[in-house]
Amino acid sequence: MMKKIIGQSALDAFQEVVPFLKMLYPQDAAVFACDRQKYLAFEEAEGFKIGIKEGNFLKENTSEDQAIRKKEKISVNVSKEVSGIPYHAIAIPVFDQSDNVIGAVGVCLSLEYHESYQEISGRFEKAFHEVGKGVKEISASAEHLAEIGEKLSWLSKNAAEAVQKTDEIMKIIGGISNKTKMLGMNASIEAARAGQEGKGFAVVAQEIQKLSNSTQQAASDVDGIIKDMADTIESVSRETQETSAISEEQSAFAEEVSATMDELKDQLESLGQLFEELVAGTSR
């Protein structure tokens, strides 16, 4: 329950010290004392002007007007449209011995820095949100790229194994080609021995030798292609491994940046709470 200010003498005392009370506040402030109709004393703030002077009549729905009518402490924020700078107004009613309100005393505290902080805080929060969103997208892309790299590495490994098997097949084909060549040479020798009766066999021997030569040349060409494929697959595998490593580093870095942004956001919110508590503390 709020402790009451009672007596005309108390109101008179506040009227006398109004010029000095503003010195008690850390931020720019205006201080006043009034009766039920007009201001008995008013000390303007330095950074913002409310435009009230001693002897002016009270305006309706101001903090002091509400404090007198409601018989309770009033604490309200006033927008910057009123005086160019937002401020926090606090008014406390003063009672007589019969519990009738005879006036009020109060203070108006500048909220200029608080509003500036809120604006800056909002910008930072928006920037943090955008950066965090971008970092998460980068992280997701890096993870996806790493997965693709792993799949490519697996495919390269399988392709390399297939090339090895193909190389083994080519060795077998080469062996068949050599044996076919030997068979053609032997057939030619036997055809020569047979003389006139071996002419037909000589034609077959020539065809076998041609087939052997063609097979041997084809096997040599394919072997060269396979070696080129093996070199290419090895290069792809090496590049894929490097890409996967880079992607993992990017993903880890993105997560680190995201965590830092979240920490900065938390600190900014904590700072905002301190500002709110500071403002609230001056109104108690």
pLDDT at residue 266, rounded to an integer = 72
pLDDT band at 9 (very low <50, low <70, confident <90, very high): very high
Over 60: is that where the pLDDT of 117 sits?
no
Show the domains of the chain with their CATH numbers.
Answer: 5-110 (3.30.450.20), 117-279 (1.10.287.950)
The top-scoring range by mean pLDDT among 1-15, 27-41, 182-196, 263-277 is 27-41
Cα separation, 33 vs 39, in Å, equals 6
For 111, counting Cβ atoms within 10 Å of its Cβ (0-12 exposed, 13-18 middle, 19+ buried), the class is buried
pLDDT digit string, tens, across residues 137-190? 666 666 666 676 677 666 667 666 666 666 666 666 666 666 666 666 666 676
pLDDT at residue 123, rounded to an integer = 64
Over 70: is that where the pLDDT of 132 sits?
no
Tokens representing 15?
A: 């009227």
Over 60: is that where the pLDDT of 282 sits?
no
Tokens representing 67?
A: 């404090």
Summary count for the chain: helices (H), strands (E)? 5, 6
Q: Report phi then psi at 60, rounded to 5.
A: -65, 140
Cα separation, 115 vs 241, in Å, equals 53
pLDDT band at 283 (very low <50, low <70, confident <90, very high): very low
pLDDT digit string, tens, across residues 67-84? 999 999 999 988 877 767
Over 60: is that where the pLDDT of 281 sits?
no
For 7, counting Cβ atoms within 10 Å of its Cβ (0-12 exposed, 13-18 middle, 19+ buried), the class is middle
Q: How many CA atoms lie within 13 A of 131 on its CB side?
A: 17
pLDDT at residue 43, rounded to an integer = 93
Residue with tokens 């926090």: 88
Tokens representing 29?
A: 């402030």
The more confidently predicted of residues 96 and 264 is: 96
Range 41-66 average pLDDT? 91
Distances (CA, A) of 182 to 150, 172, 178, 191: 48, 15, 6, 14
Residue with tokens 């900065």: 264
Cα separation, 273 vs 264, in Å, equals 14
Tokens representing 185?
A: 């040479």
Cα separation, 195 vs 189, in Å, equals 10
Cα separation, 60 vs 42, in Å, equals 17
